[in-house]
Amino acid sequence: MPRRLLQLLLLLLAAVALPVHAGEGHVPKPVLTIEHPGQCIAPPEVMRRTHMDMLKHQRDKTLRLGERGAKISLNGCIECHASRKTGSVLGSNENFCQSCHAYVAVKLDCFECHQPKTGMLKSAATAGGQP
Amino acid sequence: MSEQQTPDAGRRDFLGATAAATAAGLGFVALAPGMQLIKFAEANASTNAATGQFASSKVRWGMLIDTTRCATGCTDCVTACATENAIQPGSGRPGQSSQWIRKIELKEQKTGREISLPMMCQHCAEPPCVDVCPTGASFKRADGIVLVDRHSCIGCRYCMMACPYKARSFVHEPLTQQNPEVPRGKGCVESCTLCVHRVDKGEQPACVEACSKGEHTAMLFGDLNNPDSEIAKRIATTATSQVRADLRLDPGVRFQGI
């Protein structure tokens, strides 16, 4: 009877451990293609850890205090990091913002309201002769 | 009562004594960082004011609409607003579409006199939408522009009910064609921003620009606080009025000929 119990326990353990082990390789690593290589506003390790705080503080300054042309800007992120193919930071796991956020499973709420594509500026559209 | 007051008094004495001790011993140290902070803030304010980057409370943006020049049937301002702010009709329910500015035709029954005017957020000095907002999302900028902070708007729509001008709309459907300078999205209330992104660049609101490009030039935008501005001069010399002035909200949009 104790041997049976041990077997059952081992089986249970295996059942719990296996899917986790098998799942390790399933989340694709983020694909970070810097489409417009150049100097970001801060070193990559700083950006990785604090970009959300930067954006959160700056959004209040911009909206509530009316600060324009600040160094930190979501539109600035999009200008540099949008994919050359789709012109967007969203769309697939190869697009800059989405690839990392999918990997770390953090919901990306910015683009419920903000425009994820480049070239959508109204002034740019009128200058380009579009209707 | 007196029994209840006694421990309070004791606590006050204790707090008072502690405060006095702190002031005597650590007062300077405690004060110095505070002073530094204030100095920082002042330095920032002055540099930003120099570059014109921050909204200033010395300015009060406003608009003057000359209804005698506004043409019946002309919707240039509405079209310009929709283009600038990427406002598109929703699918299927036209009654739910966002309306930042709309044209109103009025007729006086006795005389038959007809007037036409654009109506939008009046950018009140005492905005009721700000009073009722439970999250602080509805706010007034230092320069008098009333805005919605979509980051904290929960879409409760109290402000829509509080506004006597029916100036606010609720976004019912997901949006994709936003102007990068004008973020908008489903689940938030929105209204005329006085084209704040343009105003901050030193430009005029899109509706005013469109109106002045046409032959009507019924709309005038400017700083109500600056006595040298055209709008302030016009207001000082001609009879203008605010809509529902009895509510004492002091709207920044004034009308001529109503």
Kindly determine whether residue A64 and residue B149, on different chains, have CB atoms separated by under 8 Å. yes
> Which residue of chain B has the CA closest to A124?
B179
Could you give the CA distance from residue B225 to residue B62 in angstroms, rounded to a whole number?
9
Nearest to B167 by CA among B121, B126, B98: B121
Whether B22 and B31 have beta carbons less than 8 Å apart is answered as: no
Cα-Cα-Cα-Cα dihedral of B112, B110, B120, B63, to 10°?
Answer: 80
The alpha carbons of chain B give a radius of gyration, in whole angstroms, of 24
Inter-residue contact B81 to B219 (CB < 8 Å): no
Averaged pLDDT score across all residues of chain B: 85
> What's the pLDDT score for residue A3?
73
- Terminal CA-to-CA distance of chain A, rounded, Å? 82
Share of chain B above pLDDT 90, in %: 74
Nearest CA in chain B to A109: B151
A122 contacts B185? CB cut-off 8 A: no
Let me know if residue A130 belongs to a domain: no
Residue B47 confidence (pLDDT)? 36
Q: Tell me whether residue A80 is in a domain.
A: yes
Q: What does the DSSP assignment read for B180-194?
A: TTB---TT-EE---T
Q: Is the Cβ–Cβ distance between B212 and B63 less than 8 Å?
A: no
Say which CATH topology domain B61-256 has: Alpha-Beta Plaits (3.30.70)
Number of domains composing chain A: 1
Mean pLDDT over B10-22 rounds to: 54
Q: What number of residues does chain B have?
A: 258
How does pLDDT run across B92-116, given as a tens digit for each residue?
A: 788 889 999 999 999 999 999 999 9
If you average pLDDT over residues A102-123, what whole number do you get?
89
Task: Please tell me which residue, A75 or B27, carries the higher pLDDT value.
Answer: A75
A14 occurs within a structural domain: no
Which of A60-64, B51-55, B73-77, B230-234 has the least mean pLDDT?
A: B51-55
Q: What value does the CA radius of gyration of chain A take, rounded to a whole number of Å? A: 22
Q: How confident is the model at residue B90 (pLDDT cuts 50, 70, 90)?
A: confident
Q: Do B179 and A115 touch (CB under 8 A)?
A: yes
Q: How confident is the model over A24-40, as pLDDT tens digits?
A: 567 778 888 777 777 89
Mean pLDDT, residues A3-16: 68
Least confident range from A9-18, A40-49, B3-12, B129-138: namely: B3-12
Q: Give the span between the Cα atoms of B59 and B3, in whole angstroms.
A: 55
Please tell me whether the overall predicted TM-score, pTM, comes out greater than 0.80 for this model.
Answer: no
Cα–Cα distance between A102 and B149 in angstroms, integer? Answer: 27
d(CA B166, CA B99): 9
What are φ and ψ of residue B31, in 5° steps?
A: -80, -35
Q: What is the predicted pLDDT for the residue at B95? A: 86
B49 has which bridge partners? Answer: none
**Sequence spans of domains, chain B:** 2-51, 61-256
Q: Provide DSSP, A28-84.
A: PPP----SS-S--SS-HHHHHHHHHHHHHHHHHIIIII---S-S--HHHHHHHHS-T
Q: Do A66 and B177 touch (CB under 8 A)?
A: no
Residue range(s) defining the domain that contains residue A92: 28-116
Instruction: Name the amino acid, one letter, at B43.
Output: A
DSSP assignment letter at A26: T
Q: Which DSSP helix (H) or strand (E) runs through B139? A: strand B138-140
CB contact under 8 A, A113 and B178: yes
Residue B247 has pLDDT above 90, yes or no: yes
C-alpha span between B119 and B108 (Å, rounded): 18
Contacts of A63 in chain B (CB under 8 A): 147, 149, 151
Q: Return the SS3 of B114.
A: strand
Which residues of chain B make contact with A69, given a CB cutoff of 8 A?
53
Q: Which residues of B touch A66 (CB under 8 A)?
A: 53-55, 141-143, 196, 200
Q: Taking the CB of residue B181, how many other CB atoms lie within 10 A of it?
A: 21
Report the Cα A49 to chain-centroid distance in Å: 12
B29 band by pLDDT with thresholds 50, 70 and 90 = very low
